[in-house]
Amino acid sequence: MTNFAPASTFNAGSAGKWRRAILRLILLSVLVIFALFYLMPLFVMVTTSLKSLEEIRTGSLVALPREVTFEAWRTAWSSACTGIQCEGLRPYFWNSVQLAIPAVLISTLLGAINGYVIAQWKFRGANLIFSLMLFGCFIPFQVVLLPMARTLGLMGLAGSIPGLIFVHVVYGIGFTTLFFRNYYVSVPSELVKAAKVDGAGFFRIFWSIFLPLSLPIIVVTVIWQFTQIWNDFLFGVSFSQAGTQPITVALNNIVNSTTGVKEYNVDMAAAIIAALPTLLVYVVAGKYFIRGLTAGSVKG
Amino acid sequence: MVDWFQRHIPKIVLAPSFAAVLLFVYGFIGWTAWVSFTRSRLLPKYDIAGFIQYKRLFASPRWETALNNLFIFGFLFIVIAMILGLLIAILLDQKIRTEGVLRTIYLYPMALSMIVTGTAWKWIMNPGLGIEALVRGWGFESFSFDWVIDPKMAIYAVVIAGVWQASGFVMALFLAGLRSVDGEIIKAAQVDGIPTWRIYSAIIIPSMAPIFLSAFIVLAHLAIKSFDLVIALTGGGPGYATDLPATYMYTMAFSRGDIGQAASSAMIMMAVVFTIVVPYLYSELRAKHD
């Protein structure tokens, strides 16, 4: 209520309208300011990567590039130094691809079949097994680093990409099983019973009833696993060697290499290249990405 | 034989995964626990020697810094991300037409690797060329923002980057929670003329207690595991000013070759996670069976 408003209904209504409009304007501005806070690093990364070193030294952090150059991108992709080698990110990008694709597929497949068993073929102890697998998702991986390094050595997989695939599958199945189990648990058990009466077996029911239902959860799981594995650093840095490192490790090496002039534009271009695949997934399938995030925290 | 096989197919299918989890999760935890009670240095030894590694650990000033940093970082990271997330969620809940776009913007950092986040913020907070130079360029010549190279302040720089990355996710959790509150109750309160802020503080937020718990668990878990962010942003430095237990463990395991210290610090991390996550998981699984 405004004190000075004349007591006519028309004016009161219009004042109320004004007040609401102003409130909404403030609300929107606050939301936009927050949006700028989240966008600022991305903006700075992109503009810095398009500037020359000279312009970075003399210009402002948030200014648009006066002269756009893709030189830094070229360097980051094919000639930046990750230590003694200077081949850019390209080989490591392909390492990550070669690592992520099999690891995602295998862990998703195992998660689907495990989730199917735990949700629909309950046997004594199934819940205990599920709880034990679930807890495995939450351990700090530091606690398994040392024995895993030795085990990979014994298996002859030390410092290799198959070794990293193995590690990501082993520590990924907890989550993938959780996703599929929670999805399949809502399928009425009568369905399986009816199929059994009709003579369908374990795999037949999975193949022709459950898999066709599973597209959404497969998308959620694949996105979740891909993001986790692509962005992983701890396993990558612990279990790889020169030549087999994933992209996150190579990026860190480029940024923290101490030789020569610090090329901030190359660092930023490299960071964007490392981020592009997961960003792309997020832009294309954000809905499923969020579902995976919340499914991992709010178990239903 | 075939019949037996048919009946046990589900167990046979689950067996390899379960065996892998038993060995690579629980077996490995057991190995690390065992080694943490030995005199292992460069090579593991298996003769139990009591708490010698834990005594060394808690006598180490570097570990003390790491633990202190975990508490500072964990506390601020969790509290700020929760407040920011809740605030944005409430603002977004006011029937904003551009909600979809805004939500996408708030949440995208969660899709990035912490190494990317660390690299970006390291550049933004660069004392010579980043925010400091920017504000000085606006005429505030004495402005100073050199947290990343200041041993006393560097851990707060890590907090900034961490909050930037995770708060959008907390927002998404809270927004889902706000949307799941019974609309009838809110309508009834509105009809009674209760002001909006009272509806939030007295009705909606109290009913979201489980979401607060979920957000807390996720954030605490992220904080304890934080490793990449520190490595990329400060490398644990200056000196070891921003060491966290995770970076301490890694240094001991892979650059110092001190397996005993690596194992005992990993076990402490495990214990911290255990005390936070186990009661939560237990109640979750409990609730589902009832």
User: From residue B60, how far is each of A62, A298, B44, B67, B253 by CA, in Å?
Assistant: 43, 38, 21, 11, 16
CA angle A87, A91, A97 (to 5 degrees): 160
> Residue A10: what pLDDT?
45
Whether residue A48 lies inside any domain: the answer is yes
Q: Do A147 and B32 touch (CB under 8 A)?
A: yes
Q: How many C-beta atoms surround the C-beta of residue A146 within 10 A?
A: 25
Same domain, A237 and A268: yes
CA angle B109, B111, B115 (to 5 degrees): 75
Select the more confidently predicted residue: B195 or A148: A148
Which residue is associated with the tokens 């934080």?
B226
Residue B38, classed as helix, strand or coil, is: strand
Yes or no: say if A133 and B21 are a contact pair by the CB < 8 Å rule. yes
Q: Do A41 and B121 touch (CB under 8 A)?
A: yes
Residues of A in contact with B253 (CB under 8 A): 145-146, 149, 238
Whether residue A273 lies inside any domain: the answer is yes
Same domain, A20 and A157: no
**Chain A closest-CA separation from residue B91 CA (Å):** 7
Q: Does the CB of B246 have a partner CB in chain A at under 8 Å? A: yes
Same domain, A127 and A204: yes
Same domain, A236 and A108: yes
Q: What confidence tier does B124 reach under pLDDT thresholds 50, 70, 90? A: very high
Yes or no: say if A42 and A271 are a contact pair by the CB < 8 Å rule. no
Q: Does the CB of B241 have a partner CB in chain A at under 8 Å? A: no
Same domain, A112 and A192: yes
Whether residue A233 lies inside any domain: the answer is yes
Torsion (CA) A270, A273, A274, A279 in degrees, nearest 10:
140
> Residue A6: what pLDDT?
41
Same domain, A114 and A43: no
Closest partner CB to B109 (pick from A31, A38, A147):
A38
Residue in chain B nearest A110 by alpha carbon: B17
Q: Helix, strand, coil shares of chain A as percentages rounded to 5? A: 75, 0, 25
Closest partner CB to B123 (pick from A171, A268, A286):
A268
At residue A137, what is the residue type? C
**Interface TM-score (ipTM) > 0.90:** no
Q: Do A238 and B10 touch (CB under 8 A)?
A: no
Q: Is B102 exposed, middle or buried (0-12, 13-18, 19+ CB in 10 A)?
A: buried
Residues of B in contact with A291 (CB under 8 A): none
Residue B237 Rama label (left phi>0; alpha psi -120 to 50; beta): beta
Q: How many C-beta atoms surround the C-beta of residue A167 within 10 A?
A: 28
Same domain, A64 and A126: no
Residue A132, classed as helix, strand or coil, is: helix
Question: Which parts of A121-205 fold into alpha helices (H)?
Answer: 126-136, 142-154, 161-184, 189-197, 202-205
Whether residue A83 lies inside any domain: the answer is no
pLDDT tens-digit series, residues A249-282: 999 998 887 667 788 889 999 999 999 999 999 9
**Chain B closest-CA separation from residue A89 CA (Å):** 14
Q: What confidence tier does B148 reach under pLDDT thresholds 50, 70, 90? A: confident
Instruction: At A55, list the tokens.
Output: 């312009």
Number of domains in chain A: 2
pLDDT tens-digit series, residues A51-95: 888 888 888 888 888 888 888 898 889 888 877 788 889 999 999
> Residue B289: what pLDDT?
56
In this model, does residue B203 exceed pLDDT 80?
yes
Instruction: Report chain B's terminal Cα–Cα distance, integer Å.
Output: 38
Residue in chain B nearest A56 by alpha carbon: B129
Residues 6+ apart with CB under 8 A from A17: none
Instruction: At A51, list the tokens.
Output: 């500037």
> Residue B276: what pLDDT?
86
> Residue B270: what pLDDT?
92
- Residue range B208-233: mean pLDDT, rounded: 87
Same domain, A172 and A290: yes
Residues of A in contact with B246 (CB under 8 A): 140, 142, 234
Q: Do B116 and A110 touch (CB under 8 A)?
A: no
User: From residue B189, how far is each of A19, B86, B200, B209 by CA, in Å?
Assistant: 22, 21, 11, 20
Set out the domains of chain B in order of their start, with CATH numbers: 62-289 (1.10.3720.10)
Q: Which domain covers residue A60, as residue numbers?
A: 9-69
Closest CA to A291 of B277, B181, B207, B110: B110
Q: Do A230 and B113 touch (CB under 8 A)?
A: yes
Same domain, A137 and A233: yes
pLDDT tens-digit series, residues A115-142: 999 998 888 888 889 888 988 888 899 9
Instruction: At A277, list the tokens.
Output: 């695949």
The sign of the torsion formed by the CA atoms of A216, A220, A226, A229 equals negative
Q: Do B35 and A146 touch (CB under 8 A)?
A: yes
Same domain, A107 and A254: yes
CATH of the domain at A281: 1.10.3720.10
pLDDT tens-digit series, residues B64-100: 999 999 999 999 999 999 999 999 999 998 888 888 8
Same domain, A231 and A164: yes
- Residue range B271-288: mean pLDDT, rounded: 79
Question: Which parts of chain A fold into alpha helices (H)?
Answer: 9-49, 53-58, 71-78, 90-120, 126-136, 142-154, 161-184, 189-197, 202-205, 211-213, 215-231, 234-239, 247-256, 264-297
Beta pairing partners, B38: B48
In this model, does residue A11 exceed pLDDT 60?
no
Whether residue A249 lies inside any domain: the answer is yes
Instruction: At A28, list the tokens.
Output: 């929107």
Closest CA to A222 of A107, A140, A139, A131: A107
Same domain, A173 and A239: yes
- Residue range A140-169: mean pLDDT, rounded: 93
Yes or no: say if A170 and A107 are a contact pair by the CB < 8 Å rule. no
Closest partner CB to B232 (pick from A30, A56, A255):
A255
Closest partner CB to B176 (pick from A129, A145, A294):
A294
